[in-house]
Amino acid sequence: MKRGLKTKGFASIQSMVRNGKPAGVLADYPHLWRAVKSRLRKPKSTYPRRPKPIPTRTEEYLWSLLKDKQTGYFWRQQARLLYYFADFYCPKLKIALEVDGICHVGREDYDSIRDHSIKRLLDVRTIRISNIRAREFNAESLKAWVKAVCAS
């Protein structure tokens, strides 16, 4: 007998279900059918399954400056927001930081739709920064920049 719902005399839950409808004992007990049905169907996730496998050198550099609350705020790397991944996300400030490299060239329309939906549904502001600009930061200048962004 399978784990989970105890079936008196039946070999498995599947033997009590025919064509997606309850049969036998399940037909007489709707509350039991609801329990069985919830175990048969697994909800499909609409979220991405895994983050980008390899961060760019600029993202690694920026993460070395953002991690461990060096800016005074907790940041997440490759955070999932709706159906998208943000390079960096600060939950307290509700700011997503995106490092735009060569892969974002020609995707401006997609990025603007993405930013708009994240802003409208989650009230998270997306800030885009180029690879070149991100490389110019050191720990102190990044901290000052984050404070300036929060003030605006």
Domain boundaries, the chain: 1-43, 57-151
Q: What is the pLDDT of residue 1?
A: 45
Q: What is the amino acid identity at position 81?
A: L
Q: How far is CA 138 from CA 64, 110, 133, in A?
A: 10, 30, 11
Residue 9 confidence (pLDDT) above 70? no
Q: What is the pLDDT of residue 37?
A: 64
Q: What is the pLDDT of residue 144?
A: 85
Classified by CATH at the fold level, domain 57-151 comes out as Endonuclease; Chain A (3.40.960)
Task: Reduce the DSSP state of residue 56 to 3 states and report it.
Answer: coil
Q: What is the pLDDT of residue 89?
A: 93
Q: How far is CA 134 from CA 56, 97, 147, in A?
A: 12, 11, 16
Q: What is the pLDDT of residue 149?
A: 80
